[in-house]
Amino acid sequence: MTFMKKTLTASIAVAAATSMAISTAHAEISDGEVRIGYLADMSGTYRDLAGPGGLAAMEMAIEDFGGSVNGAPIEVFSADDRNSADVGANTVREWIDRDNVDMVGGLVASSVSIAVTKVVEENNKLAIISGSAASSITNEHCTPNHIHYVYDTYPLANGTAKAVVDQGGDSWFMLTADYAFGHALEGDVTKVVEESGGEIVGGVRHPFPTSDFSSYILQAQGSGAKIVGLANAGADTVNAITTASQFGLTQSGQQLAGLLIFLNDVHALGLQATQNLLLTTGWYWDMDEEARAWADRYYEEVGARPTMVQAGIYSSTMHYLKSVEAAGTDDPEVVRAQMAAEPINDFFARNGQIREDGRMVHDMYLAQVKTPEESTNEWDLYKILSTIPADEAYRPLSESQCDLVQN
């Protein structure tokens, strides 16, 4: 009887201590809730690469996590930024002022992301950027309040452009989206092409977004360049490739280099138009068993295979929530430090680590689009040719212009 009484007393003490710890952790969560905003293009050029599918991925992560952090419920807000920096910044400012949103995720158009990072820095909140490509986001535009998670223009150039030049594609014409992302990709590609022994013989910048690429493709054909580099994304890339096919660009001996091609682009265009295209990706749904297992769950939810951005949104949301739980607070400075302290190895990232500049570095992959004969189903689109290790894929810190980096 004495033993049972002592055991019961000890159990009550442990339960009380656990309850107190949970209550303390809950008290560290601002307003008693973890509030996440999902901001992306939900209806325009970038809808399919992130859009509603990215929101579904975020909600999957929250559900898998259990719907709460240390007893504090997780609430999600979402909005369409319409690819407008002003709309994006104003939306986030309203979320912070009215709803006390702690973290903003998604974020696709680089101009929107750069505008949003300024707002979260001013208000000491956190942003995790999964869809934007401009490497400047963690270079000259770095802040202590955001993380760039999935990919950027630096590994795209180091992967695709270098591979194309090595295969003999040494003269390039650049077709570039005229905003931050396009400029960054054009700059990174130019550097890689020239360092690899090639040259940029011409180029043109088109408005974002653009539906008629006729004049731009004619200029590319007239340049005589072996390679026409597409420094654009989403519907712009699809329209450019479609127009190039209609004008017989590849039949005349020139080759397209899609510098930012997403799974949904290849699926929309079909393998007949995209076969053998080289590309660099941060993830592919069929790359291994772990990726396939998650992609199958996503497919059941959404009805399409996920892009690397949508997979990255799940991974980044889960990493954020685990860090809030471990830190016992949603304070952005503490959470960002916790996220940087923990390596990331999940179905999405291999050898992942968040650096001091906010760049999440991880292995990237050089892939090639399959031929119609090689493909076994409508989503069997890539074959992975090689792995670009994390420490080689991204801009080295020694070259960084970020104020957070101690050179």
Cα gap 163→367, rounded to integer Å: 10
Give the number of residues written for the chain: 407
Look up residue 273 and give its two tokens. Answer: 């138009």
Q: Model confidence over 291-320: pLDDT tens digits? A: 999 999 999 999 999 999 999 999 999 999
Residues 331 and 269 in one domain: no
Ramachandran area for residue 70 (φ above 0: left; ψ -120 to 50: alpha; else beta): left
* pLDDT tier, 277 (very low <50, low <70, confident <90, very high otherwise): confident
Cα gap 37→107, rounded to integer Å: 10
Q: What is the CATH number of the domain that holds 253?
A: 3.40.50.2300
* pLDDT tier, 3 (very low <50, low <70, confident <90, very high otherwise): very low
Residues 83 and 199 in one domain: no
Prediction pTM value: 0.88
User: Is residue 2 predicted with pLDDT exceeding 60?
Assistant: no
Q: How many CA atoms lie within 13 A of 140 on its CB side?
A: 4
Cα gap 84→87, rounded to integer Å: 5
User: Is residue 13 predicted with pLDDT exceeding 50?
Assistant: no
Residues 131 and 255 in one domain: no
Cα gap 253→244, rounded to integer Å: 12
Residues 371 and 234 in one domain: yes
What's the pLDDT at 11?
Answer: 36
What's the pLDDT at 20?
Answer: 37
- Is residue 12 a part of any domain in this protein? no
User: Is residue 160 predicted with pLDDT exceeding 70?
Assistant: yes
User: Is residue 16 predicted with pLDDT exceeding 90?
Assistant: no
* pLDDT tier, 407 (very low <50, low <70, confident <90, very high otherwise): low
Average pLDDT over the chain, rounded to an integer: 91
Residue 351: CB partners within 8 Å, gap ≥ 6? 343, 345, 361, 362, 363, 389, 390, 391
Residues 188 and 142 in one domain: no
Residues 336 and 380 in one domain: no
Average pLDDT over residues 362-388: 95
Residues 141 and 186 in one domain: no
* pLDDT tier, 372 (very low <50, low <70, confident <90, very high otherwise): very high
DSSP letter at 307?
Answer: P
Cα gap 251→331, rounded to integer Å: 56
Look up residue 275 and give its two tokens. Answer: 């076969």
Residues 189 and 233 in one domain: yes
Residue 406: CB partners within 8 Å, gap ≥ 6? 356
Q: Do 381 and 307 contact (CB within 8 A), yes or no?
A: no
Residues 210 and 268 in one domain: yes
Q: How far is CA 139 from CA 135, 270, 358, 360, 367, in A?
A: 6, 36, 9, 13, 26
Q: How many CA atoms lie within 13 A of 276 on its CB side?
A: 6
H or E segment to which residue 353 belongs: strand 353-354
User: Is residue 79 predicted with pLDDT exceeding 80?
Assistant: yes
What 3-state DSSP class applies to 168?
coil
The domain total for the chain is 2
Average pLDDT over residues 251-269: 91
How far from chain centre, in Å, is Cα 394?
14
Smallest Cα–Cα separation from 68: which of 107, 24, 35?
35
- Is residue 145 a part of any domain in this protein? yes
Q: Model confidence over 314-371: pLDDT tens digits? A: 999 999 999 999 999 999 999 999 999 999 999 999 999 999 999 999 999 999 999 9
DSSP letter at 359?
Answer: B
Write down which residue in 339, 362, 385 finishes a domain: 362
* Domain extent at residue 233: 154-281+364-393
- Is residue 193 a part of any domain in this protein? yes
Average pLDDT over residues 268-285: 92
